[in-house]
Amino acid sequence: MARNARRMTCTPDDVFRVIANGWLYPAWVVGASRMRDVADDWPRPGSRLHHSFGVWPLLIDDATTVREYDPPRRVVLRAKGRPLGEAQVTIDVRPRGEGCVVRLQEHAVAGPGALIPAALLDLPLHRRNAETLRRLAYLAEGGAP
């Protein structure tokens, strides 16, 4: 399981304001390149984002579903990433001083990616998720709607 953490100079509410705006998903999730649709009830558990990843002409349409949503503390997502499979992504946010600490954990749960030993998969996921948290911080600290 790949684990990352980042201290941010914003409140947990600021982080969840970004997460709650499904249209911002490709702005902070590395690999997501465009949004196709956001459920009206996003981010309620069971709701979905319809996004694409990759670059044209190799775009793959997929979806991410909310499994748990407990703002401003925790969100658990199930992200499809065909052809590699599906991943569970958990984001935990805790206040710390004037800001907060955001922890992101990701692990493959279905498809070919789940067959790859964690030791091989964790390094690229760790690097990607470090950039994901950097982008999330940029939006949350900057007051994105």
- Alpha helices per DSSP H over 73-117: none
Mean pLDDT of all residues in 138-143: 96
Taking the CA atoms of residue 95, residue 72, residue 37 and residue 3 in that order, the dihedral angle to the nearest 10 degrees is: 50
Question: CA dihedral in degrees (117, 123, 129, 131; nearest 10)?
Answer: -160
| Cα distance between residue 60 and residue 33, in whole Å | 10
Q: Tens digits of per-residue pLDDT, 49-88? A: 999 988 888 888 999 999 999 999 999 999 987 777 899 9
DSSP SS3 for 20:
helix
**Looking at residue 44, what DSSP letter applies?**
S
Question: Would you state the pLDDT for residue 145?
Answer: 76
**pLDDT tens track for 21-42:** 999 999 999 989 999 999 999 9
CB 24 within 8 A of CB 49: no
- What's residue 63's pLDDT? 95
pTM: 0.93
Query: Percentage of the chain surpassing pLDDT 70?
Result: 100
Return the structure tokens found at 129.
């998720």
CATH code of the domain in which 83 resides: 3.30.530.20
Report the mean per-residue pLDDT for the chain. Answer: 93
Identify which of 119, 140, 144, 145 has the alpha carbon closest to the alpha carbon of residue 9: 140
Q: What is the pLDDT of residues 104-130, one digit of tens each?
A: 999 989 887 777 777 777 888 999 999
Number of domains in the chain: 1
Domain that holds residue 41: 2-141
